[in-house]
Structure 1
């Protein structure tokens, strides 16, 4: 069980740590002096590489989390019997997975398409999407931090 918990924590650290790095370190540095446009290729390369790590971490978290839950006698197929804190954590995790899917499969590709068009050709909807697209990863980071908090509470119960 020790190794399983360690692997689960490692996957969470990779995912959340990467989100913190991108949001708090990389993006602000690249935006200095209005220079983000000249670093788009670098950012996109880093983000794609991180995406592969995230999806791998998500798979590991699902498998290890399920095994740990069964080890704690939580009946995975009977959610009405789940402890409240476990239900809360799984619900927030599901929301985080949904945000990640939306970012990677919907918002990100649409923003890339929009940024590939001339400013004058962009619709009002396109401009709004580009302007507010950065909110999805920021919200994801906050939700991920909440997952960590719930994990600590769950581990202490």
Structure 2
């Protein structure tokens, strides 16, 4: 029963994370580009980004706890590392590695490029454009990595390996 609770938490967190990022790209961004919102668009972008950031780090914690719990429940920590020398083990390691990259990239996006974009908005147009592009790149990169992690999770849960 505990395994299924962890699994549901893990899957729901993935739904909120990936779904939230996709929602941001296909709904929020087009809406704030509407000329009627010209005066409010940057504030709306900043507020939605801060709200999603707050949710994101809670979701990362849930991913970490539920992921470790799922591996433990399946007995993978009792295998003396033998699991990680198998094809499915490589899939888990790939997923964990991508999660680490995602977490570090999100930290950089959320606490460096994002805030600096808004900091330079009125002060320095050249720096603003630089950080805006960098922030946009990391946002897209994070979406790509997130979708890759989700796909790996689906594949490994079905016992399918890419290796």
- Using the size of structure 1 for normalisation, the TM-score is 0.86
1:27-55 C-alpha deviation (Å, 9 max, x unpaired): 01211348555321122112211111111
Aligned counterpart in structure 2 of residue 87 of structure 1, from 73, 84, 93: 93
Cα distance in structure 2, aligned partners of 1:47 and 1:73? 38
Aligned to 2:63: 61
Q: Is the 8 A contact 1:111 1:130 kept in 2?
A: yes
Aligned counterpart in structure 2 of residue 116 of structure 1, from 113, 116, 122: 122
Cα distance in structure 2, aligned partners of 1:11 and 1:62? 11
Cα distance in structure 1, aligned partners of 2:102 and 2:81? 19
Q: Is the 8 A contact 1:14 1:53 kept in 2?
A: no
Aligned to 1:146: 148
Pairing 1:98–2:104 present = yes
Report the CA distance shift for 1:37/1:81 in structure 2 as closer, same or farther (over 3 A). farther
1:59-113 C-alpha deviation (Å, 9 max, x unpaired): 011001001011122239x768521110111111111111111111111121111
1:100-156 C-alpha deviation (Å, 9 max, x unpaired): 11111111121111113153xx45xx5323233211111111110000000011101
Aligned to 1:26: 28
Aligned to 1:11: 13
Report the CA distance shift for 1:20/1:154 in structure 2 as closer, same or farther (over 3 A). same
Cα distance in structure 1, aligned partners of 2:82 and 2:137? 33
RMSD of aligned residue pairs (Cα, Å):
2.1
Aligned length: 152
SS in 2 for 1:133: helix
Which 5+ residue runs of structure 2 have no aligned equivalent? none
